[in-house]
Structure 1
Amino acid sequence: MPKKILIIPSWYPNSDNELVGTFFREQAHLLNANGFDIKILFGVEHEVGFFKYLFLRFKQLFSKKQTIHNTYLKQNPEALSFNSYQYKKWPKKWKLKSRKKQYQQAYKTITKHWKPELIHAQCSANGGIYAHYLSKLNKVPFVIIEHQTFLLNYYNKYVQKGIREAVENAYKIGAVSHHQKRCILMNSMDCNPFVIWNLTDENKFEIGTKRPQKKFTILTITYPHLIKDTETFIRSLEAFQAICADDFEAIIIGNDSFNDSSKANSSHFETLAKKHQVFDKCTFYPQLTREEINSQLQTCDVFVSTSVAETYGVAVREAMLCGKPVIATKSGGVEDSITAETGVLVNLKDAEAIAVNLLRIKDKNIIFSPETIRNFIIGQSGRDAFIKTMTNFYN
């Protein structure tokens, strides 16, 4: 019988934003088709005014049951959601306590005819906190894989306490890179994380066919946060423009609308490009489908990542599956996959070094094998490698 796994993600693709947490769904889908029986449970958080909260509470009391939906989250595997309402002026401690109780109510509803053998939290905040609570009440072991930047002091003290208790009481802890493992342990956590590289699905990305001669094309995927340091990318274009005799193009994919894709725009990046006088070299895409991103990756010449910190670097690995060399800052997670045969590492904020290496790649002073780059990633975190790693982790 396939082992039953209940995944508690900290975010997940949904009707409002199909791209957020896509890799959580892709991983669950692959595992569900290869020896596991996977279900997703996710509470959609809403903070509301006092009168609306009272109305919703009375409504819930009269109905005497919690409504579980299978339409809001993207399906396959089965993904169940419930609305989690809190009064917006409650203290953080009360909100967290309320959400944990709502997760337990939802758990009791979905486990009447299907009981998990293991609970898997995707990220400690706050999926790990909820998984730990469910584990204690229902006597089911739980594991956590940490994906996001692990800065404990970023959180309210009650969330910090919940994260620490979850991490230190989990059956197993996973980290998506050696850098991520180090970050967890630097917070004085009493645990020993396994390194679990994210799935990079070779069936979704491929090396593009030869294309007619065109402008040298540089690609990045980012969003306007200091941790992505997009200004260093733009400054590298400015420096490259000063030393490159030929025309070139930069493709910038990204926006800052994490929760509402209808508000996606490129205004932040456009402002930076104008500031550094490279606007005419840039093409901006606020939002693309996975298929459109694949197409852009196949036709670019090089992928650039200028992050200050990357827990893993999904976009970097997807570019490598397309056989593209990567120039990346020494941001942590990407360093597990970038070698002399797959790309170039530079120091943080070193726009000039990026520009010099762009020119070296353009002029073929350094040459990379697309097949070597792709095969390296497949061997490290392709479908078979990921299934094997997760099977060992779940046992």
Structure 2
Amino acid sequence: MRNKKNVLMICSWLDYKLRLGSFFMDQASLLSENFNFVLVNFRPVKFKFKNLKKIYKTEKIVTEDKITILYIYYPAFKLIKGGFFLKLIEKKAFSILNKILKKENIEIDLIHAQGVFDAAFWALSYHEKYGTPYIFTEHNQFKLRNVNRKKIRRLDLILKKSRFNLVVSNDLIRQFATNGFFYDFVNIGNLVDERLFNYKRNKQGEYFEIMTVGAYDPLKDQITALKALKIIDNLNIEKIKFTWIGINAWGIGVDFEQEVNRLISSLEFKNIKIEIIKIASKAEIVSALQKSDVFIFTSICETFGISPLEALFVGVPVITTQSGGVNEFMNSKNGIVVPVKDFEALSGGVLSVMNKELQFDRELISKESIAKFGSEVFIEKMTSIYNDAFVE
């Protein structure tokens, strides 16, 4: 008899080399004491007749934590949106997946789809064919733009048949409801690994250090951050540094360095030293956070806001826009919440920290954040959900 249940985690996005979807790998690693995990990412490939023999391909990676990741490549046809041919594609992809699992002597007990589009759709199809129960977690903004009616009906079925509909914030529950999906949801929050992100006392550096983390994107609205910094720059205060990490963090094949540099140059900063880092490892982000005095976050809309939470884990006070998910962890002890796009309020918040009008207990910020969103809480929460999902 097997000691551990096997969980097939279907990930809507996952790239081990680029560390995209690293949360999925972290979750599997944390829960691996109680469950066995196989992570799979179904990857569409543009169909070409000349590559007919190589339509379906697989790739296997075993991480340093001994978590198996499978990439299953399948043909994508521009004109095929569903129906008979899509079922054939799914059938073949599942056949390839099951051959790999059978070879490894793995029998799947539960599917955990990470993301509605498109992991949960794969989970429902697998459930319909093999009867395997599934749950899903939605992380992204829930929107139905360019989603056809047939897929929306299928989504309704996903929500009905899932053992648990998990979300990372109450804001996501509102987003589902706004689109007419009134189901039971479980808010599981999010996870930051305190083994890496934690408080460390550092000596005061030469500069007052302001920091943000995030890919360059209109939804992240970094222009508001730069406008706020420009107000501060005009005050002719010396020894201020702004570090922006991760302008290319989403790894979509576009380098935003020139565009970001043009944007910064157009504002003609004279006093604030600005450093742009295109992409960084988690260890590098932690190192930068531990030297920072304040973290700013200017997103217009967030399901949660993992970057500001990572800052809080390190004990850095956060000034953030009211973007939705931040309500789950922001309070008067750890920072300031300002309206979206309000660069004047943002600059005022930074100045209040700089001038010590507002002071924060960094060690307390870290302890309280870890107590609510650290690994122990997450393990307990997800273990209970998994065990309940196994029950018929």
1:23 — aligned with what?
A: 23
CA contact (8 A) 1:13 1:74 kept: no
Cα RMSD of the aligned pairs, angstroms, is 2.2
CA contact (8 A) 2:206 2:239 kept: no
Aligned equivalents of 1:281 and 1:366: distance in 2?
23
Q: Which runs of 4+ in 1 moved over 6 A?
A: 72-75
- 1:6 pairs with one of 5, 8, 11: 8
Q: Which amino acid aligns with 2:188?
A: I
Would you say 1:101 and 2:91 are equivalent positions? yes
TM-score normalised by structure 1 residue count: 0.90
Would you say 1:86 and 2:76 are equivalent positions? yes
**Percent of pairs identical after alignment?**
26
Q: Which amino acid aligns with 2:75?
A: Y
Q: Which amino acid aligns with 2:142?
A: F
Q: Which amino acid aligns with 2:20?
A: V
- 1:77 pairs with one of 63, 67, 73: 67
CA contact (8 A) 1:14 1:72 kept: no
Would you say 1:165 and 2:165 are equivalent positions? no
- 2:193 pairs with one of 197, 201, 206: 201
1:266 — aligned with what?
A: 257
Task: Deviation per CA, 1:41-62: give whole Å up to 9, x if none.
Answer: 21222124x433xx32x456xx
1:365 — aligned with what?
A: 357
Aligned equivalents of 2:40 and 2:249: distance in 1?
24
Q: Secondary structure at the match of 1:93?
A: coil
- 1:225 pairs with one of 208, 211, 217: 217
The gaps in structure 2 that reach 5 residues or longer are none
1:63 — aligned with what?
A: none
Figure out how many residues of one structure are paired with residues of the other and give that number: 381
2:49 — aligned with what?
A: 51
- 1:316 pairs with one of 305, 308, 320: 308
Aligned equivalents of 2:151 and 2:236: distance in 1?
50
Aligned equivalents of 2:182 and 2:121: distance in 1?
16
Q: Secondary structure at the match of 1:199?
A: coil
CA contact (8 A) 2:29 2:65 kept: no
1:76 Cα deviation (Å)? 3.1
Task: Deviation per CA, 1:4-61: give whole Å up to 9, x if none.
Answer: 211001011333xx221111111111111x311111121222124x433xx32x456x
Matches within 5 A, 1:256-295: 256=248, 258-259=250-251, 264-278=255-269, 281-295=273-287
Q: Which amino acid aligns with 1:276?
A: L
Matches within 5 A, 1:351-390: 351-390=343-382
1:366 Cα deviation (Å)? 0.6
Aligned equivalents of 1:268 and 1:147: distance in 2?
28
1:260 Cα deviation (Å)? 5.1
- 1:146 pairs with one of 121, 127, 138: 138
CA contact (8 A) 2:338 2:346 kept: yes
TM-score normalised by structure 2 residue count: 0.90
Aligned equivalents of 1:129 and 1:74: distance in 2?
29
CA contact (8 A) 1:220 1:305 kept: yes
1:175 Cα deviation (Å)? 0.6
Q: Secondary structure at the match of 1:304?
A: strand
CA contact (8 A) 1:40 1:79 kept: yes
The gaps in structure 1 that reach 5 residues or longer are 61-65
CA contact (8 A) 1:257 1:264 kept: no
